[in-house]
């Protein structure tokens, strides 16, 4: 059974948090694959098969986490784009006011 866990981080820390989670996932997957290889080298085929099944389940979990990270990153990109639009609009405000003053004076 899966449960959603929600927590917040500063917006500028989102890329670091995504990186941390991906690194953790990578370590888990690589650890599983290394365990399989070790068991195969030691000719412990029954345990290697068990670890393969376990790794497949782990890959399914990783796939879900990657999907969630993709959604988080998409939201982050939207926030960055909206923030950029807001900054651009703020930059235009003085220009609009300056142009307005020139029109009134001329």
- Half-sphere exposure for 17 (CA within 13 Å, toward CB): 15
pLDDT at res. 4: 80
Distance of CA 103 to the CA centre of its chain: 49
Does residue 48 lie in a domain region? yes
Q: Does 96 map to a domain?
A: no
- Position 60 in a domain: yes
CA distances from 71 to 8, 41, 62, 80, 83 (A): 15, 39, 14, 14, 18
Q: Is 45 a member of any domain?
A: yes
What is the total count of domains within the chain?
A: 1
Q: Is residue 71 part of a domain?
A: yes
Percent of the chain beyond pLDDT 90? 67
Assigned domain for 104 exists: no
Span 46-78, pLDDT tens digits:
999 999 999 999 999 999 999 999 999 999 999
For residue 73, give its domain range. 13-81
What is the value of pTM for the model shown? 0.71
| 56 domain residue, yes or no | yes
Is 38 domain-assigned? yes
CA distance 27 to 7: 23
Alpha helices, DSSP H only, in the chain? 14-41, 45-105
């Amino acid at each position: 059974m899966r449960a959603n866990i929600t927590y917040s981080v500063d917006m500028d820390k989102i890329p670091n948090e995504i990186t941390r989670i991906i690194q953790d996932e990578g370590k888990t997957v690589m650890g599983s694959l290394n365990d399989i290889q070790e068991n195969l080298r030691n000719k412990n085929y029954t345990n290697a098969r068990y670890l393969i099944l376990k790794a497949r389940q782990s890959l399914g979990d990783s796939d879900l986490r990657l999907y969630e990270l993709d959604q988080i990153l998409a939201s982050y990109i939207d926030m960055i784009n909206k923030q950029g639009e807001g900054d651009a609009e703020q930059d235009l405000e003085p220009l609009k006011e300056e142009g307005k003053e020139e029109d009134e004076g001329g």
